[in-house]
A and B are shown apart, each in its own frame.
Chain A
Amino acid sequence: MSEHHEPSHRSMRLIGRATAACLLLFALAYGLVATAIDYAFASDPLGPRVFPLGLAAMLALLSVWYFFSPGPAEGYPSGRLLLRVLGIPLVMLAAVALFEPAGFLVSTFVLTFGTALIFGAPPFKALLGAVGQAVLWWFVFSYVLEVYLPAGALFGH
């Protein structure tokens, strides 16, 4: 709890402006790529470039509006909480990288065990929960719903 402060008016404005600046850059980059769309023939007067260019202009204008009136924001976490929040995509990254080579069971174990620990589960409970979830979901997807999942090298093909 102590790590989660309500953001101050100033920091909300800063978050708003930074987001607006990123969006403006994105709009410019998108517009730039749009000018280079390659096409031989279009059956309509607009062609494939005009609509994206219009969108780029619209997004750029809206970003400028947002920059000057940022409005309320929730604010980002900091300290240990931020590390925990960022831990989730990292665990997911590892699990997804393992998904095809090591198979569904291993990957799901990594994902559920890792996130359960980040959520503060006691290690032994997290372990039990992760093994249970891996087996349960494997059963549900493979036998009940008949969804194809990679078995991975460990469990044959």
Chain B
Amino acid sequence: MNLDYLWHGFAVALTTQNLIIGFIGCFVGTLVGALPAIGPINGIALLLPIAYTMGLPAESTMILLAAIYCGAEYGGRISSILLNVPGDAGAVMTAMDGYPMAKQGRAGEALAISGISSFFGGIFGTIGLALFAPILSGLAIGFGPAEYFVLMVFAFATLGSMVGSQPAKTLIGCAIGLVLATVGLDPTSGAYRFTFDQPELSEGIEFVVLVIGLFSISEALIILENEGRGITVIRELGRMTARMSDLVKCTGATMRASVIGFIVGVLPGTGASVSSAISYTTEKRLSDTEGTFGKGDVRGLAAPEAANNATACGAFVPMLTLGVPGSGTTAVMLGALMLYNIQPGPMLLTERPEIVGGLVASMFVGNFILLALNLPLVQIFARVLTVPNWLLVPGILVLSVVGVYSTNSSIFSVFLMMGIGMVGWLLRKAGFDMAPIILGFVLGQITEVNLRNALAISGGDVSILFSSTICIVLWILAAAVAILPAYLARRARRRALQAA
């Protein structure tokens, strides 16, 4: 196996600039993960335009965004343990045993144990990513337009499981994203589509405008609505280090959960919420002989934390090798690559090894930074939970406005962002998830261009979409992933409910 890209990547990741960027990303990531109000997508969406405007090279921006993503998976546990409110979706199960531990006066220990298991999950996931990425992109190098189009169909099929219970809404979200991607100049024919003679729309809707509108603006409104729902912070942290006996007790759980987390992460469409639920229920079934799970068992705390960190790393495998994002967060990172005019896909590893290698290497480094940040400095992050919303939300809004304005100095874009934010809020209240919209938008142009190129090659004969073995395998896989993860997620959720 050729791992040259990785050694090259370490040279990229260990430059002073990228180390500083990685550190900032880890810090911000832990912060946005810890705050129940904002999740990793918000953190990434708000910092992406600033990184881009500052003229950071693509690999540095990706290092920053990946550090935020991984950091958020660490940070999410802090509010799960201290508030019983998960900081992000992957930390829901962490509260099951983390919060009872905190109530027993063992919050500090819970934070330390979960920090260490997060580290093991993260390192395991990164090793998996480093080994898997070259294999998968090697398989996909022979793809033509027809294969690409079917691959995109496969990507959309995976969506069904992202918001498993309501497939109509997921698919509508996806269609909305595809619709928004058609705005602007059509690259093949030179026709202007849906621009309504607005010069600002001739290049299409900007990715940053859409992401910040859908996530940050609508989030601000939702934070306001959910205010005052009786949350109390546990301030007595107690002993801040983990007991050796507890760490030994969790070893098996951490290892099993890392494997489960990574595999779930690689499967497109299933995220940290699914992997942490599966690993928690697995541990409960295997080890809960005395009925201590749910009452502050360290194994029930370590398993979901290892799993969600391994999942965050695994989610990069399809994104970096196939150009197919497995989650909302990786969809935003894919959009970030496209902002730099970099076409994601199987050629990325051979054409831009510094990006893939730099990213993977930075995740190794990042996990060590995160461990260091999250063990001794956890008290600082815990204090952040007490920042009032009236100070936090205006800050998010300022970052949103400046982020959008700074990419092209256009006030039109800022108004467009606000409009998109309002529509996003309406849709979220109606039960829609925003991630499918982003996914549809990011993959929209690639889908259309490849479909049209494939049909141009065949002279309009649609059988080209079923002609190669790869196409047929992808069609079958698409059908399988549309059904399977939704079924697994439902089963895991039912088990989790029984466990609680």
Q: Report if A33 contacts B (CB, 8 A).
A: yes
Prevailing SS type, chain A contact patch = helix
The residue that A119 contacts in the complex, of B169, B189, B393, B411, with Cβ under 8 A, is B393
CA distance A74 to B431 in the complex (A): 6
Q: Establish whether residues B390 and A126, one from each chain, have CB atoms under 8 Å apart when the complex forms.
A: yes
User: Contacts of A93 on B, CB cut-off 8 Å?
Assistant: 418
Which of the 9-residue segments B128-136, B173-181, B276-284 touches chain A? B173-181
State how many angstroms separate the Cβ of B397 from the closest Cβ of chain A.
6
Q: How far is the CB of B345 from chain A (nearest CB, A)?
A: 20
Contact of A19 among B166, B188, B390, B427 (CB under 8 A): B427
Report if B395 contacts A (CB, 8 A).
Answer: yes
Complex Cα distance, B390 from A43, in Å, reads: 55
Q: Which residues of A contact B391 (CB under 8 A)?
A: 116, 121, 129, 133
Given known A-B contacts A43-B189, A44-B455, A45-B455, A88 and B169 have beta carbons under 8 A apart:
no
Q: Of the listed stretches B93-101, B104-112, B402-410, name the one at the interface; the rest are far from the partner chain.
A: B402-410
Pick from A15, A43, A71: contact of B168, CB under 8 Å: A71
Query: B398–A108 contact, CB under 8 A?
Result: yes
Check A44 against B175 for contact (C-beta < 8 Å). no
B182 within 8 A of A: yes
Flag if A76 contacts B429 (CB, 8 Å).
Answer: yes
Flag whether B295 is at the interface (Cβ < 8 A).
no
Does A120 make an interface contact (CB < 8 A)? yes
By beta carbon, the residue of chain A nearest B460 is A45
Contact of A111 among B53, B389, B401 (CB under 8 A): B401
Chain A residue at smallest Cβ distance from B50: A145
A37 and B189 CA atoms in complex are apart in Å by 11
Looking at the complex, which one of A4, A41, A65 makes contact with B225 (CB distance below 8 Å)?
Answer: A4
Q: Is the CB of A43 within 8 A of B172?
A: no
Residues from chain A with Cβ under 8 Å of B426 in the complex: 19
How many angstroms from the CA of A87 to the CA of B206 in the assembled complex? 26
Contacts A43-B189, A44-B453 known; A96 to B398 CB distance under 8 Å?
no
Consensus secondary structure, chain B interface: helix
Interface residue ranges of A35-93 to B (CB < 8 Å): 37-48, 51-52, 55-56, 58-59, 62-63, 65-66, 69, 71-77, 81, 84-85, 88-89, 92-93
B402 / chain A contacts, CB cutoff of 8 Å: 104, 137, 141, 147, 149
> Please, which residue of chain A has its CB at the minimum distance from the CB of B452?
A44
Do residues A62 and B193 form an inter-chain contact, with CB atoms below 8 A?
A: no
A102 in the interface (beta carbon within 8 A): no
- Please give, as numbers and ranges, the residues of chain A lying within 8 Å of B54 by CB-CB distance: 145-147
Decide yes or no whether B388 CB sits under 8 A from chain A. Answer: yes
Given A15-B429, A59-B176, check contact A52 B190 (CB 8 Å). no
**Cβ B224 vs Cβ A84 within 8 A:** yes
- Is the beta-carbon distance between B166 and A121 smaller than 8 angstroms? no
Pick from A4, A23, A44, A65 the residue with the most CB of B within 10 Å: A44
Give CA–CA (A23, B176) in the complex, Å.
9
Report B28-69 residues with CB < 8 Å from chain A CB.
50, 53-54
Closest CB of chain B to A106's CB: distance in Å? 13
Within 8 A of A (CB), among B398-454: 398, 401-402, 405-406, 409, 411, 414-415, 418, 421-422, 426-431, 448, 451-453
Answer whether residue B153 sits at the interface, using C-beta atoms and an 8 A cutoff. no
B165 CB contacts on chain A under 8 angstroms: 71
Cβ–Cβ < 8 Å partners of A96 in chain B: 401, 411, 414-415, 418
Q: Which residues of A contact B390 (CB under 8 A)?
A: 115-116, 119-121, 125-126, 129
B10 at the interface (CB under 8 A from A): no
Can you name the residue of chain A whose Cβ is closest to the Cβ of B391? A129
Tell whether, in the assembled complex, residue B175 and residue A55 are in contact, meaning their CB atoms are under 8 Å apart: yes
- Whose C-beta in chain B lies nearest to the C-beta of A45? B460
Chain A residue contacts of B448, Cβ below 8 A: 51
- How far is A108 from B171 in the complex, measured between Cα atoms in Å? 38
Contact residues in B for A63 (Cβ distance below 8 Å): 172
- Asked if A1 is an interface residue, CB under 8 A from chain B, the answer is yes
Query: Is B376 engaged at the interface, CB distance under 8 Å to the other chain?
Result: no
Chain A's nearest CB lies how many Å from the CB of B151?
17
> Is B228 close to A, CB under 8 A?
yes
Q: State the Cβ distance, B405 to closest chain A Cβ, in Å.
A: 7
Determine the distance from Cα of A151 to Cα of B478 in the docked complex, in whole angstroms: 52
B288 at the A interface (CB under 8 A): no
A35 to B1 alpha-carbon distance, docked (Å): 51
B229 contacts A112, C-beta separation under 8 Å: no
**CB <8 Å contact, B398 and A147:** no
> CA separation between A30 and B417, bound complex, in Å?
20
Q: Which residues of B contact A130 (CB under 8 A)?
A: 394
**Residues of chain A lying within 8 A (CB to CB) of residue B179:** 30, 52, 55-56, 59
Determine how close the nearest CB of chain B comes to the CB of A116; give it in whole angstroms: 4
Can you name 16 A-B pairs with beta carbons within 8 Å? A19-B426, A39-B190, A43-B189, A66-B172, A72-B431, A74-B429, A85-B221, A88-B397, A89-B418, A99-B414, A104-B402, A120-B390, A141-B402, A147-B53, A147-B54, A147-B406
Besides A71-B431, A99-B411, 13 new A-B residue pairs in contact (Cβ under 8 A), listed by A number: A4-B225, A19-B430, A33-B194, A48-B189, A48-B191, A51-B451, A56-B179, A59-B176, A62-B175, A99-B405, A108-B398, A120-B227, A147-B53
> Taking beta carbons and an 8 Å cutoff, which residues of A are in contact with B?
1, 4, 15-16, 19, 23, 30, 33-34, 37-48, 51-52, 55-56, 58-59, 62-63, 65-66, 69, 71-77, 81, 84-85, 88-89, 92-93, 95-96, 99-100, 104, 107-108, 111-112, 115-116, 118-121, 125-126, 129-130, 133, 137, 141, 145-149
Q: Which 9 residue pairs across A and B have the least CB separation, nearest first?
A: A39-B191, A121-B390, A45-B460, A119-B390, A112-B394, A44-B456, A48-B186, A42-B189, A73-B431
